[in-house]
Amino acid sequence: MKKFKMLLSAFLLCLTTMTYAAKVDTLQVASTAMGKTYKAAVVLPNSYAKSKTAFPVMYLLHGAYGHFSDWLKNTPNKKLIHNLADQYNMIIVMPEGETFSFYIDSPVNKESQFETFVTQEVIQKVDKTYKTIANKTGRVITGLSMGGHGALYLSARHPELFCAAGSMSGAVDMSTMLNRDSSAQIVKLMQPVFGDKSGNTELYEQNSVLRMADKLKSNKLPLIIDCGVDDFLIEPNRELHRRLVYNKVDHDYTERPGAHTWDYWENSLPYHVLFFNKILARNQVTVKK
């Protein structure tokens, strides 16, 4: 009997934890720009269901070779995103960015328009579907690798949408990829974005965040950027940091032990969310527990 009560107590505790844990939705987002429908993962904090308050939103972008569910599947702690949503009472949205879109609008392919997709179609769908703070004071964006480039790129080009942005191990100089041993593979993967000009280094440089230091300065958005010291992208990130310092752009830059790995990004993301939470609090849009 005693053993049964212990098992029952454990079961009820588990049930309670499941009941009050953050909820994950898979949102279908129709893209008029690309003529297809993509998915986005949406994590709602456990306080969301019973609250009438509008919540701030963090857009979290995945990296190259990946898809919208990466942040939920690939971190060593599979509850990382759930826990952060609960801890900071924010909605976390992870949109599809395809394997090599770099979150830009392709100049040659109408089926690869991911700048438009994220900044217009995803945000609009999320704001219509959920109780969100539907303006820049309650909206932030960050991502890893290709997603780090995407977060800085999109926020630089659309400062009216976000109040802060970040990058983890960001591919901030797209041309760096062409210098790797697998450059032929990179050119092939970039065909949907740049077409026959996918081997043109200048085209990569034109779309790189490194070229946007002046834009990042004029927008005056708070930025958080970090990269592992053993990451193959460390030098472009250092160069971006130097350019931002030269332009007197206020930003938080950190180098930590680690490489281009999920262990590194799992450690990095909580720092980004803490950074964003301070800005959201300053904007008076955080949700009290």
H helix intervals, 40-174? 70-73, 80-88, 114-116, 123-129, 146-157
Provide the residue type at 279 as one letter.
I
- Judged against a pLDDT cut of 90, whether residue 285 lies above it is answered with yes
How remote is the C-alpha of 161 from its chain's centroid?
Answer: 14
> Would you list the DSSP string of 116-145?
HIIIIIIHHHHHHHS-B--SGGGEEEEEBT
Answer whether 169's CB lies under 8 Å from 64's CB: no
pLDDT of 19 reads 44
Give the C-alpha separation, 204 to 172, whole Å: 10
Rg (CA), the chain: 20
- Judged against a pLDDT cut of 70, whether residue 274 lies above it is answered with yes
The verdict on pTM exceeding 0.75 is yes
Comparing C-alpha atoms, which of 109, 168, 101, 104 is closest to residue 141? 168
Strands (E), the chain: 23-31, 36-44, 57-61, 91-95, 139-143, 164-168, 223-228, 251-256
- Judged against a pLDDT cut of 90, whether residue 261 lies above it is answered with yes
Provide the residue type at 176 as one letter.
T
197, two tokens: 């000009």
Average confidence (pLDDT) over 58-67:
97
pLDDT, the chain, mean: 92
Helix, strand, or coil (residue 208): coil
211, two tokens: 């070229």
Average confidence (pLDDT) over 84-106:
97
pLDDT of 183 reads 78
Give the C-alpha separation, 236 to 238, whole Å: 5
- Judged against a pLDDT cut of 70, whether residue 9 lies above it is answered with no
Determine what percent of the chain falls in helix, strand and coil, rounding each to the nearest 5.
Answer: 45, 20, 35
139, two tokens: 């909206």
* Residue 229 CA: distances (Å) to CA of 99, 144, 173: 25, 15, 17
Let me know if 236 is exposed, middle or buried by CB neighbors in 10 A (0-12, 13-18, 19+): buried
User: Model confidence over 174-224: pLDDT tens digits?
Assistant: 888 777 767 788 888 899 899 988 988 888 888 999 999 999 999 999 999
- Judged against a pLDDT cut of 70, whether residue 56 lies above it is answered with yes
The residues, any chain, with a CB within 8 Å of residue 55's CB and separated by 6 or more, are 45, 48, 89, 90, 91, 130, 131, 132, 133, 138, 287
Confidence of residue 16 (pLDDT cuts 50, 70, 90): very low
Confidence of residue 20 (pLDDT cuts 50, 70, 90): low
Other CB atoms within 10 A of residue 4 CB: 8
